[in-house]
Amino acid sequence: MSAGELGYSRDNQPGKLQIAFGISVGLNNIPTMLTIQKGNVQDKKHMQMLIRLCSSVLPEGSLLVFDCGGNTQDNKRRIRDLKFHYLTLKAKKKGPYRNEITIYHARKESQVSFVSGNRVYSCVKYRDGEEVRYIFFCDDLACDQLTKKARKLEKDLEKGKVLTKKVERGKDLGQYIAPEGWIIARGHLQKIIGDIPNPYVTGLEGFFVLESTIDDDPENILNAYKNRDRAEKFIRDLKEGAGSGRSGTGPNTR
C-alpha cells in the first residue's frame, strides 16, 4: 500500500505497513469526515488535522467528543477558537487524578447517582474557568479493574517462583551483550514480612474524569462520551477490510 509506512505498531507488528484513519460521525452514525495519514501518526498530531477540517464541515456550536489521546490544551484551545464545544477524557495520571478524587470526596453533598448500562455511577461536577469537570466513580468498574490487576500480580508471582529457584541455586538470571563484553544478571532474594502488596493498585480504580465546555447532567455527559464508540467501531470495520490500518483519535460530533 503506497500510503503505508513502517514504524511503531500498537498490535506489535512493526514489520507491517501502517496508516492512520481519523473519522467524524454524527448521531445518525453516518460518517461526515474521514482523514487518512501515512504511517502511524501520533493521536495528538492527527487530532490537529481533524480539528482544522471540522471548521469546513461542521456548524458552529458542534460538540466534539474524543478520548484522552487527543486531549491537549492546544487542541482544546483550537476547538474553542473555532466556536465548537468539546467533551474528552482526562488522562489518568496519578497526581492530577488524586487531586480530582480529593475534590470528589470533599463535595459529597453535591454527588449525584444514576444507572447507565446496568452499572451505578456517582458523579461530582465543578467548573474550572470555562471548563466543567465531571468526576465519576463506579464501584463495578473498580472491582473489574482490581480483579484484572490481581490476576496480573498472580502471573508475576508465578514468574517470580521460577526466578527464585534460579537465585537459590546460584544460577544466572540472564546475559546481555555490551561493547565491553557480557553483562551477567544475578539475583538476590530480599524477603519481606506479610503479603506482597500489589504494585499495580494505584487507588484510582473506578474513577475517571471527563472535561467539557458543556454544563449538563452527568448522565447525559457520560452517555454522550460513550457514544463515541460508534466511530471507533466504524474504523474497526475499515481496518478489518484493509488489514493494515490503525484508527486515529477522531471526534464524534453532535
Torsion of CA 141, 215, 233, 16, to 10 degrees: -90
Cell of 200: 499495580
Quick one: cell of 129? 474557568
**Cα dihedral sign for 66, 71, 75, 76?**
positive
Helix (H) or strand (E) holding 36: strand 31-38
| Burial of 146 per CB tally in 10 Å (0-12, 13-18, 19+) | middle
**Structure-block grid coordinates of residue 70:** 487527543
Cα 149 to Cα 141: distance, rounded to the nearest angstrom: 12
Asked if 22 and 34 touch (Cβ cutoff 8 Å), the reply is yes
> What predicted TM-score, i.e. pTM, was given to this entire model?
0.75
pLDDT (tens, 9 = 90+) of the chain, 254 residues, equals 455 555 555 566 666 665 555 555 554 444 444 444 444 555 666 677 778 777 777 888 888 888 888 899 999 999 999 999 999 999 999 999 999 999 999 998 999 999 998 999 999 999 999 999 999 999 999 999 999 999 999 999 999 999 999 888 888 888 999 999 999 988 888 888 888 899 999 999 999 999 999 999 999 999 999 987 666 666 566 556 554 444 444 555 55
